[in-house]
């Protein structure tokens, strides 16, 4: 049986993204509909985890304390909305570091699997706005979801094959639309 788990990319899915990086608490601007969507998942028995590349740390744009403050704000907003995020996994590296955690590699998802005590992520969901999110999810056995927020529209322009019927990627406007779809599908 597939775990009731949704793994979310952060920037562009939960909060607004920036080509110049989200470098401070003031720049971390959540999509209100995403906070409510995460709460709805929790309230309906789903575990929620976040897998986020944060190379801005390695680039010196912000430090781990700043990242922690952003994540504390996110956790507080979700809890205030009646939800819960079970784990946040982040990669502080740049590609040249040769780490195992930077998406599209599956290290962050494996961390989530191990932290949550799951045997497998097979059949769980990976929601992102970039090809690397979908690729990491595919390697880990997750069902891929691309949202059009953040870099999602650019991803579709660069990779029109994602919209072909043979591709298993579910494409929706935003996280709230995915949660509407998911809860509708699983309560029918």
What pTM did the predictor assign?
0.95
pLDDT at 2: 75
Please check whether residue 171 is in contact with residue 156, taking contact to mean a CB–CB distance below 8 angstroms.
Answer: yes
Distance between CA atoms of 81 and 32, rounded to whole angstroms?
10
Nearest to 48 by CA among 75, 11, 87: 87
Is 167:161 a contact under the CB 8 Å cutoff?
yes
What's the rounded Cα separation, in Å, for the pair 188 and 178?
15
Q: Is 11 exposed, middle or buried (0-12, 13-18, 19+ CB in 10 A)?
A: buried
| In 29-188, beta strands by DSSP E | 47-53, 87-91, 125-128, 143-147, 170-172
Calculate mean pLDDT across residues 38-53.
98
Confidence band, pLDDT 50/70/90 cuts, at residue 185:
low
Facing residues of 128 across strands?
Answer: 146
DSSP, collapsed to helix, strand or coil, labels residue 67 as helix
Backbone torsions φ then ψ of 30, nearest 5 degrees: -75, 150
Active site residue 167: no
Q: Does residue 24 register a pLDDT over 70?
A: yes
Among 11, 17, 129, 174, the one annotated catalytic: 11
In angstroms, the CA 126 to CA 143 distance is: 6
Q: What is the pLDDT of residues 49-106, one digit of tens each?
A: 999 999 999 999 999 999 999 999 999 999 999 999 999 999 999 999 999 999 999 9
Cα dihedral angle (156, 86, 39, 34), rounded to 10 degrees? -30
List the catalytic residue out of 9, 17, 129, 174.
9
Does the active-site annotation cover 17? no
Does pLDDT of 179 surpass 90? yes
- Cβ(78)–Cβ(84) below 8 Å: yes
pLDDT band at 188 (very low <50, low <70, confident <90, very high): very low
């Amino acid at each position: 049986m597939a775990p009731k788990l949704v793994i979310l990319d952060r920037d562009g899915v939960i909060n607004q993204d920036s080509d110049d990086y989200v470098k401070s608490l003031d720049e971390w601007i959540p999509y209100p509909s995403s906070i409510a969507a995460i709460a709805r998942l929790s309230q309906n028995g789903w575990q929620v985890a976040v897998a986020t590349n944060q190379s801005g740390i390695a680039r010196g744009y912000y430090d781990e304390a700043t990242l922690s403050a952003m994540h504390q704000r996110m956790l507080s907003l979700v809890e205030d909305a009646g939800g819960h995020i079970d784990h946040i996994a982040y990669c502080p590296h740049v590609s040249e570091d040769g780490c195992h955690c930077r998406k599209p590699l599956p290290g962050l998802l494996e961390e989530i699997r191990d932290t949550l005590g799951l045997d497998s992520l097979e059949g769980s969901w990976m929601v992102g706005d970039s090809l690397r999110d979908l690729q990491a999810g595919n390697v880990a056995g997750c069902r891929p979801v691309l949202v059009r927020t953040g870099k999602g529209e650019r991803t579709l322009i660069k990779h029109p094959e994602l919209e072909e019927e043979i591709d298993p990627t579910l494409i929706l406007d935003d996280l709230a639309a995915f949660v509407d779809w998911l809860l509708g599908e699983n309560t029918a």
